[in-house]
Structure 1
Amino acid sequence: MSAPLSPQTETVTPEPAGARSSRDLTRWLPTVRDTLVAIVLAFAVGALLIIVSDEESLEALGNIIDHPGSFLVYLGDFVRHSASAVFDGYSALVLGSVGSASSLERTLERSAPLICAGLGVALAFRAGMFNIGAQGQALVAALAAGYVGFTFDLPFLVHLCAAVAAALLAGGLWGGVVGLLKARTGAHEVITTIMLNQVARFVVLFFLAKEAFQRPGSNNLETPVVAESARFPQVFGLHLGIVLAVLAAVGVWWLLERSRLGFEMRAVGSNPEAARTAGMSVAKVYVAAMALAGMLSGLAACMTVLGLSQSVTENVMGSVGFDAITVALLGRATPLGTVLAGLLFGALSAGGVRMQTSAGIPPDLIQVVQALIVLFVAAPALVRGLTRVRRRTTTETKEAGA
């Protein structure tokens, strides 16, 4: 009789790196597919909105109703005018975003702050926190960067680094307050960030009314222009602050995937109680995550103040902080996805101007398309249901043909 096998004789074979990469790719493919389908659906609905806002298409549609005897004639007119309106609108969007060197520069310049602020929102997401305060964090950072930029007289590289450091410090402190409040008192970050957005706005207005922050000879609430030594250098008309956005994305990826702090953020974001039981400091993670998120929003402010507008006003950041939430959601709170989403929204913003001037399409349509993208991305069950219906219909057709 043979001796029974010992349970210790089982050998565990390490999983090859290639198999792991293939498994990760397979896991992400449905998400990528759903996101692409969401974008296509959003543009399809946008095409319908273009058609119903086109006067010639509506006139042809009215003729179809009024003259049913000439249905085919007027239907052809409706299809021709509709196709022309959609083609003109979306071709203007493409040309305005990537159709020339200047268009591409404008797209990248508008994408850079969205990417940086979106990375801040995504980082907080991964730590289990919903950061709606990117707008306020960017505003106080813009004020700090602008003040250092127009007040001090320093050598070029020193001045630029000082202005960037001031923005990072201001944004990090503004975001760190939210993490500290959540860690110490349990205050929900959604409420505190919304409130601090308003506080930041009034803080900026308060300082803009002070003589030290006012532009000489102007009664408007705006600061003097940032000194040349504090601005990002330009190469072929494109400021190099955009490189910092790329480096920030790489840094966030390394932090989340390769560092101990990133592991703790992901663990706390998945299950804070289990992370606490494992000996992790949940409070430390909350403070660190929000401080880093604020610093990334501060970097977004640098893209604007030190790269584009070069002065600070109440509306210097526009809606970048709020758009960053959309970018992070579309990017599935991943560094690469956030970069791609930021580029997409930057292209929509840059191309929307061309759509208005060349095709006569209202600029609000771009905002509708952005909202539809978020709607479909936030409703993956709907997107998957539509794709399953399509696949089922295709399969039934093939079986019927066989």
Structure 2
Amino acid sequence: MSAALEAHVVVDRGGFRLDATLEVAAGEIVAVMGPSGAGKSTLLGALAGLVRPTSGRIRVGDRTVDEPGARRAHVPPMRRGVVLLGQEPRLFPHLTAAQNVAFSLRARGIGRAQARAEASAWLDRVRLAELGTARPAALSGGQQQRVALARALAAAPSIVLLDEPLTSLDAETAADVRTLLVAELAASGTTAVLVTHDAVDAVALAARLVVLEDGRVTQVGATRDVLSVPATRFAAALAGLDRLEGVASGGAFVHDVSGLVLQADDAASVAAAAVDGTPLVAVLPPSAVRIDAADGATADAGAGSDAWRARVVRLEATVGGVRVVTTPVDADGRSAGAQPGPRVDAASVSAEVPVAAMAELALAPGDRVVLRIDRRHVRLLRR
């Protein structure tokens, strides 16, 4: 399949540098995820022509639309065949829903009567046929976003850039618009780059996932593969997993920072840890971690044991209870290689605790606890 987008984008802004490479095949949907400040919106801005790259090259189809230093190598946004749809619908307030969609069609040179007919058809596709005469102020947020989607796709762009288009919507409306996006992008065969903070969006919409951190791509691959075998702690957090780095010793995992031990039972993990000194990653779900209040019966916990002494860093509400984020400590309660305070570093481990159990434990940040890991859910991977 030919590439609809080939981009090496370098943008220097003060002390921040974005240096990212992205290639998207025709008709493919690629998701880009990363922490705040990673450069995701800057990347989309450069692809759209709203941000001028410092260096690199951007090609849309067989055209170079940006190549700093090359003569006439900056194509204005309106001539790129690229449409950017963001968190705000940005509809023309003085136009009706149908007129907003028709605007894209008229901009393509389509006659007035045909543009009206096609706009009505687009509104029907996004299930708003009855609201064609309504102005944006009379529409809900989800309805406005549907009109914006219809307007974007009616422009018949080479590429649609989606910058967290569901963020401002409530959960139910976001789910409806997500379903609509899946259907319309597939039906139109539109090539799309989706920036999102929600792994559900990436799984539902994108064949591939690009992880962007500190201005650089840290992992790229099939969405399922990236979330199953995360290469960084951020990618692991997206998948709802704990990710720890260590080495093999005696057929077990020994954590780099704290010296704490994790065992694993499955054949692949045992094979990964077979050679002492092999760099390993331990991946486990928070549901595999049991948490107990620290008391006098913790002599078996600590370095060299699969029962870990830890301190509670913070508590996070989840659908089914509370996620308790911890960092290891030694026998005297000192942090084992971790910084004090709310920061979560490479030594942190999370546990999922049901509401009833949380009420019994009565935990608070700063409390000491003992973690016990269910080895059946630990995967050891070579890194």
Tell me if TM exceeds 0.5. Answer: no
Measured against the shorter chain, the TM-score band is under 0.3
Structure number having the greater helix percentage: 1
Task: Give TM-score scaled by structure 1 length.
Answer: 0.22
Choose between structure 1 and 2 for higher RCO, CA contacts under 8 A separated by at least 6 residues. Answer: 1
Structure number having the greater strand percentage: 2
